[in-house]
Structure 1
Amino acid sequence: MNAFIFPGQGAQFTGMGLDMYEKSPLAQELFEKANDILGFSITDIMFQGSAEDLKQTKVTQPAIFLHSVILGKMMGKDFKPDMVAGHSLGEFSALVSNGALSF
């Protein structure tokens, strides 16, 4: 049985997701889709922003969501959770990763 737990606010760090963006066309596609949906470049803030920039709720929550969901999607067929759980906003990452909600 596989169980995955997703973090909530407070898990953010400068540079989060950059390695995924650089290595995966799927990650690039999802990050760019998020930039469009949000109406600002969250990737600029995630990859190069200050800790203070990342502490803004309008940035922190989607950043952690993106990092969690994209990491799961990059695992491909190896990511088959039997159970998921999330702390606070991590609940949304868990629901998307388990297929209960769409990206």
Structure 2
Amino acid sequence: AAVPGVRGTFICGDFREYAKIPELGIGGASLVITNPPMGRRIPIADMRGLIVNLFNASAKVLHPGGRLIFPNPLKLEAPERSLRLISRNPVDLGGFECQLEMWVKD
């Protein structure tokens, strides 16, 4: 929906490929919303590594004050110091519970 005076761009892609997306330069995004694989239907060999990569990529593309929102299947804090947790709430994802988290880039 169009909101007067608000410009927005949606980019659909794999966060691991952010360097190949010109619009996602360093500090080029205000919001990252993602639903990473949970490892339930399809096993993920390195789930921790995947989530760490998500934090690292988000820290690079978000500008200060930008937010990362995603369901985190792990009890894992951001390894990137520039990201600060501002909310964590349980959510049922069709039979298993994980945490819906919101992080802000300082």
The answer to whether TM tops 0.5 is: no
Higher Cα Rg, which structure: 2
Specify which structure has the higher proportion of strand.
2
Specify which structure has the higher proportion of helix.
1
TM-score (norm 2): 0.32
- Name which structure has the greater RCO, CA cutoff 8 Å, separation 6+: 1
